[in-house]
Amino acid sequence: MAEPGTILAASGLGKRFGALVVLGDVDFAVREGEAVGIVGPNGAGKTTLLNVLSGAYPPSAGRVTFRGQDVSALDAAARCRRGIARSHQIPRPFSGMTVFENLLVAARAGGGLRGRAAELRCLDALEQCAMMPLANRRGETLGLLDRKRLELARALATGPQVLLLDEIGGGLTDGEAADLVGIIQAIRARGIAVVWIEHIVHILVQVVGRLVCMDAGRVIAEGAPGDVLRDAAVIDAYLGPSAHAHPVG
């Protein structure tokens, strides 16, 4: 797994909840600055993979390495301080704090910054995510789309090397999705690796260079987005075995 340039890797990763196996023997790696998309039908284990990578859950089997170091035993907070940040599929704003204060938590705790350096990091992340006008609004007053952008801005304020995004584009209009693509491309341009789970494949492929398709807790296809979307196993997973005549994508 210690391929040069690999920043975050999982090997033999498994996660079970009681008798339910959600992830079985997943191998997964991201190179520095790379953008990888993860697709798969509902229940494929995508969010669980993200949770195990970020440290929200400990793995039941296998290990997670960051820059070659085993981080499997670290909790989410410790992994975030090392440079692995994530957004949540269902936004979790700090509702009693302003948007700026939400980011300040991230810049101070996750980014280890103090004073004006922390403020500048937050202002930069707000600007990057086009949220500056909302800086003084309390978290609880935001609508769903702004909450999703807050997830992104907050993760960015930790100063990550890897950004794990969980369905950040769900429910967006085409125009909003285009804005989001622009934001994530700009984040990539800073050399931050991105792992992005998304159902809306056409916005995903505008950003990622590689696509991983999961089904039933396993990786069933991996490679260039076009190839993965034409893969027979992927089509089976989404549409059932009789759908080969009508490829998706």
Partner 1 sequence: MSGPDLIVQRWTTRSAWFVAAMGALVVLLALGPTVFSAGLTDRLTTLFIYVILGAMWNALAGYGGLVSVGQQAFFGLGAYAAIRLSHAEVPVYPAIVLAGLAVGVLSLAVGEVMLRLRGGEFAVGMWVVAELAHLLVNLDPLVQGETGTSLIALNAVGAVARRGYNYWLALATMAALLGVLFALLRGRVGTAIQSIRDDEQAAGSLGVRVLPTKRIVFVLAATGCAMAGALWLSTAITFQPKAYFSVQWTAYMIFMTLVGGIGTFEGPVLGAVLFFLVETFFGARGVWYLVGLGAAALAFSLFLPRGMFGALDQRFSLRLLPLGYRVMLPGLLLRRGESGRG
Q: Is the CB of 74 or the CB of 172 nearer to partner 1? A: 74
Residue 160 CB, shortest distance to partner 1, in Å, is 10
Q: Is the CB of 24 or the CB of 159 nearer to partner 1? A: 159
Contact residues for 161 (Cβ-Cβ < 8 A; gap 6+)? 7, 32, 83, 84, 192, 193
Q: Is the CB of 108 or the CB of 229 nearer to partner 1? A: 108
Residue 141 CB, shortest distance to partner 1, in Å, is 6
Q: Is the CB of 4 or the CB of 175 nearer to partner 1? A: 175
Positions touching partner 1 (CB under 8 A) are: 54, 56, 75-78, 80-81, 85-86, 88, 92-98, 100-102, 104-106, 108-112, 114, 119-120, 123-124, 126-127, 132-137, 139, 141, 143, 154-155, 158
**Cα-to-chain-centroid distance, residue 3:** 22
- Say if residues 5 and 68 touch (Cβ distance below 8 Å): no
Residue 131 CB, shortest distance to partner 1, in Å, is 9
How many residues would you count in the chain? 249
Q: Is the CB of 137 or the CB of 230 nearer to partner 1? A: 137
* 179, 146, 50, 227: CA torsion to nearest 10: -20
Residue 129 CB, shortest distance to partner 1, in Å, is 11
- Say if residues 58 and 51 touch (Cβ distance below 8 Å): no
Exposure string (b/e) for 46-68, b if CB count within 10 Å is 16 or more?
bbbbbbbbbbebebeebebbbee
Residue 186: how many other CB atoms lie within 10 Å: 12
Residue 23 CB, shortest distance to partner 1, in Å, is 19
